[in-house]
Amino acid sequence: MATTVKEMLEAANAAVPRITPAQAHDMMAKGDTLVVDVRDAPEVEKSGKVAGAVHVSRGMLEFRADPQSPYHDKNFAKDKTVLVYCASGGRSALAGKALKDLGYERVYNLGAFKDWADSGGAVDKV
């Protein structure tokens, strides 16, 4: 069945709760949280990333997150809380839905990097 990006985003937003920078900060303070930047490399190089975040471009996410993949990144573990973000919240919504589909249970959409930075969230310059 054919679908549209709008429908995909609606499904992703329904499956993956959007959180505020303050909520993300609280989750990160508890530990056992993986923060994932799904923007493309030039975006990360230009602005930096959430302090401590792992950068995995949206196109490689499933390969890095799947323990059965030869490209698996050991930072990904299904027992962790995972926060994903991008430039505006769209790619992170789709990324969060993909993680849910892979069996990650505690996945949240932090939305836009700019919102994190503007809220005073710590940023690592790349």
Residues of the chain with pLDDT > 90, as a percent, come to 97
The pTM for the full model equals 0.95
pLDDT for 64 beyond 80? yes
Query: pLDDT digits over 18-57, tens only?
Result: 999 999 999 999 999 999 999 999 999 999 999 999 999 9
Q: Which fold has domain 5-119?
A: Oxidized Rhodanese; domain 1 (3.40.250)
Residue 59 phi, psi dihedral angles, 5° rounding: -70, -20
DSSP 8-class letter at 71? T
Note whether 55 and 82 are within 8 A (CB): no
Place of tokens 């969060």: 96
pLDDT of residue 2: 72
pLDDT of residue 1: 64
pLDDT of residue 23: 97
Q: How far apart are CA 77 and CA 110, in angstroms?
A: 19
Q: What is the mean pLDDT of the chain?
A: 96
Domain ranges of the chain: 5-119
pLDDT for 126 beyond 90? no
